[in-house]
């Protein structure tokens, strides 16, 4: 089976909607990126080498924005690459969605910490809304 045909093969999902392999790759990448980010930080937060990183004001959501913007220029003839890298970018953004709202000036001070339940809830709600919006048709 050629690569192009592989991208258009449809499979049945539990919701009754047919998702392409590219759509599944994108969705899995978004979720796995968020989980890996949280897991990595949970396991390494108290390590000595993290001290300098904690003082840095560069959040991984900013890296996600850069990846997502750069992914836009990947040619359409590479749909799996676009889905994968956009999934990583969006996963990083969704994981730190409270930082993005601060970055955009939507709140005056950073009130929800990364480890607080509000941050987890925000990430889950934004991801669920994205999945619903992206796959609703």
The residue whose two tokens read 């969705």 is 27
What's the pLDDT tens digit per position in 82-131?
999 999 999 999 988 877 666 666 655 555 677 777 778 888 888 888 88
Instruction: Provide the whole-model pTM.
Output: 0.72
Q: What pLDDT does 40 receive?
A: 86
d(CA 103, CA 39): 24
Is the pLDDT at 76 greater than 90? The verdict is: no
How far apart, in whole angstroms, are the C-alpha atoms of residue 59 and residue 103? 10
- Cα–Cα nearest to 24, from 9, 43, 35: 9
Percentage of the chain lying above the pLDDT 90 cut = 18
Per-chain mean pLDDT for the chain? 77
What are the C-alpha distances in Å from 49 to residues 5, 54, 55, 117?
Answer: 46, 9, 11, 26
pLDDT of residue 92: 92
């Amino acid at each position: 089976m050629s690569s192009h045909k592989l991208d258009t093969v449809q499979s049945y999902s539990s919701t009754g909607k047919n998702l392409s392999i590219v759509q599944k790759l994108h969705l899995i990448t978004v979720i796995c990126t968020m989980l890996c980010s949280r897991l990595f930080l949970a396991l390494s937060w108290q390590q000595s080498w993290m001290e300098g990183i904690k003082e840095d004001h560069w959040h991984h959501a900013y890296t996600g924005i850069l990846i997502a913007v750069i992914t836009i220029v990947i040619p359409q003839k590479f749909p799996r690459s676009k889905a994968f890298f956009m999934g990583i970018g969006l996963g990083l953004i969704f994981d730190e969605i409270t930082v993005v709202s601060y970055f955009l000036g939507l709140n005056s001070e950073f009130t929800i910490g990364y480890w607080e339940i509000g941050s987890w809830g925000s990430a889950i709600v934004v991801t669920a809304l994205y999945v619903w919006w992206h796959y609703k048709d």
